[in-house]
Amino acid sequence: MAVLHGPLTIDFEQLWKEGMLDWHGNMPERMKNDALEEAFWAQSMQKKSYKQTDAHAVPIYEKIRQYIPKGASCLEMGPGWGNYTFPLREDVGKLTLVDGSRSVLDYLQQYFIEDDAVNFVHAKWEEADVEQHDIVIGVNCYYRIYEMNKALLKMNDRAKKRAIIGLTTGPIQPHYDVLAKEYHYEIKYPRRDYIEILNMLYQLGIYADCEMLELERVYSYESYDALYAAQSKKILTDSFDWQHVKEALARYVTEEEDRIVYRHKFYAAIISWEPVK
């Protein structure tokens, strides 16, 4: 059992666990069904083009890079489709990728067939048998981890020089705030966030640095119908007025070269610390 330190009386790990439940108080099937999770990733990997990554990953990695010594050994948790794997490989001498999805590892392995310095471990982080590396890093890969204190302590234990966590975070798209505050709809706001992890670390006696990076996501649609359909999915109220959705979105969208464009500001939290032994 993890030993908690500090004056905070709130159990932040328990808040994290409660945040895994859906809005009806049930654990979503993907959170507990490994076969369903694997099917999701198998389908996702089939849709990826050659080394396809997300644009917002570039500035995030530029911030992370300052903590990674050239030629270091690095362990990456939950690499997904390689947003950080590909730039990491350019900077580190040895790279170990740990993922619970066989489809994810098969997808990445095709890019490193002749690279003996890249190793693949098919296991959940909680169960992975891995040695220490200079750097342990995981970005946006914590959504299925239930026992977060143990997972964080394992990151701390396996890192020789630095442990790094990255999480993209709010605010939610602003039109949803309009729908909540002006039209009183129930909105599916995020139920877990970086601040819980930062406080869990604090309670574990780990005083981590946290840097916030402002980012922008650009949504582009061929039609207003496509915009309305995509940007109403977080409304939990069973019955709502589409006119309200249109009015809320109208404040934030523009028309650019025959496309309807919605720009949304959000952030990345980069949490890192020197291992506490």
pLDDT given for residue 9 in this prediction:
83
CA dihedral 221, 229, 168, 119 (to 10 degrees): -80
pLDDT given for residue 24 in this prediction:
82
pLDDT given for residue 128 in this prediction:
97
**So where are the chain's domains?**
12-170+188-217+266-273
State the angle between helix axes of 148-158 and 12-19 in degrees (0 to 180), rounded to the nearest 10: 110
What is the rounded radius of gyration, in angstroms, for the C-alpha atoms of the chain? 20
Q: In the Cβ-directed half-sphere of 262, how many Cα atoms lie within 13 Å?
A: 23
Q: Beta strands 73-77 and 118-122: pairing type?
A: unpaired
pLDDT given for residue 203 in this prediction:
95
pTM for this entry = 0.92
pLDDT given for residue 7 in this prediction:
57
Element (H, E) at 163: strand 159-169
Q: Could you say which DSSP state residue 98 is in?
A: E
Q: Could you say which DSSP state residue 275 is in?
A: P
d(CA 1, CA 4): 9
pLDDT given for residue 1 in this prediction:
45
Neighbouring residues of 147: CB distance < 8 A, sequence distance ≥ 6: 13, 126
d(CA 89, CA 137): 13
pLDDT 10s per residue in the chain (277 long)? 455 555 568 999 999 999 999 888 899 999 999 999 999 999 999 999 999 999 999 999 999 999 999 999 999 999 999 999 999 999 999 999 999 999 999 999 999 999 999 999 999 999 999 999 999 999 999 999 999 999 999 999 999 999 999 999 999 999 999 999 999 999 999 999 999 999 999 999 999 999 999 999 999 999 999 999 999 999 999 999 999 999 999 999 999 999 999 999 999 999 999 999 8
10 Å CB burial of residue 43 (0-12, 13-18, 19+) is exposed
pLDDT given for residue 25 in this prediction:
87
pLDDT given for residue 157 in this prediction:
98
Q: Could you say which DSSP state residue 276 is in?
A: P
Task: Decide: helix, strand or coil at residue 90.
Answer: helix
Q: Beta strands 259-273 and 133-139: pairing type?
A: unpaired
* Amino acid making up residue 120: F
10 Å CB burial of residue 52 (0-12, 13-18, 19+) is exposed
12-170+188-217+266-273 CATH choice from 3.10.28.10, 3.40.50.150, 3.40.50.10320, 3.30.70.270: 3.40.50.150
pLDDT given for residue 3 in this prediction:
52
